[in-house]
């Protein structure tokens, strides 16, 4: 990621203690990441890095909006994002992601790319179903989405009438 050099922190030069970094996340950031999940946005990311002798604690504060396309109407809209995530990076035998908030790096690692974490955290805040705000009110008013095909609903008693009488006797045992 040649254009994202300002998001790469050289950890070997840092002294122990707390370090603050501020980044403007614009459309060019998303274009350089090379995915289509998010193409436009305007966010501010503040990263607080606390360096200790054997680990780094990173706190990501990201606020702003990304432009998404509505799944229903294909209209573009702004989705507000406000998140606070923490990550601990410690030294280990190999570089690996241990859990969502813990990673290990080798002792010869010289830099940490904050861009990949910022993009990942923003991506995780994108709703699975991207609805324009004008449709969100409609969905909350009724549980049924008018644009989604739904089959006829059956009452439980209707289903019980269709059951073979031999199975009905066995179901009585289940209720006891």
CA distance 150 to 106: 53
Cα–Cα separations (whole angstroms), residue 132 to 37, 75, 82, 138: 16, 7, 18, 11
Would you say residue 176 has pLDDT above 70? no
CA distance 110 to 8: 10
DSSP state, 135? H
- The model's pLDDT over 33-72, given as tens digits with 9 standing for 90+, comes to 877 788 899 999 999 999 998 899 999 999 999 999 998 8
When mean pLDDT is compared across 4-8, 52-56, 108-112, 118-122, the lowest value belongs to 4-8
Boundaries of every domain in the chain:
2-138, 149-175
Would you say residue 156 has pLDDT above 60? no
Give the closest residue to 32 by CA, choosing from 4, 52, 60, 9.
4
Bridge partners, residue 155, by sequence: none
Structure tokens at 6: 């300002």
CA distance 8 to 3: 10
């Amino acid at each position: 990621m040649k254009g994202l050099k300002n998001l790469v922190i050289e950890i070997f030069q840092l002294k122990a203690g707390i370090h603050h970094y501020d980044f403007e996340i614009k459309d060019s950031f998303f274009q350089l990441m090379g995915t289509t999940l998010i193409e436009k946005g305007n966010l501010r990311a503040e990263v607080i890095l606390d360096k200790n002798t054997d680990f780094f604690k990173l706190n990501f504060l990201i606020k702003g909006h990304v432009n998404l396309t509505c799944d229903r109407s294909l209209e573009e809209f702004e989705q507000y994002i406000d998140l606070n995530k923490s990550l601990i990076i410690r030294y280990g035998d190999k570089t690996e992601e241990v859990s969502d908030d813990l990673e290990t790096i080798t002792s010869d690692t010289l830099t940490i790319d904050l861009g990949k974490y910022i993009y990942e955290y923003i991506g995780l805040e994108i709703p699975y179903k991207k609805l324009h705000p004008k449709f969100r009110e409609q969905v909350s008013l009724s549980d049924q989405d008018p644009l989604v095909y739904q089959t006829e609903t059956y009452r439980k008693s209707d289903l019980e009438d269709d059951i073979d009488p031999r199975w009905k006797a066995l179901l009585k045992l289940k209720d006891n």
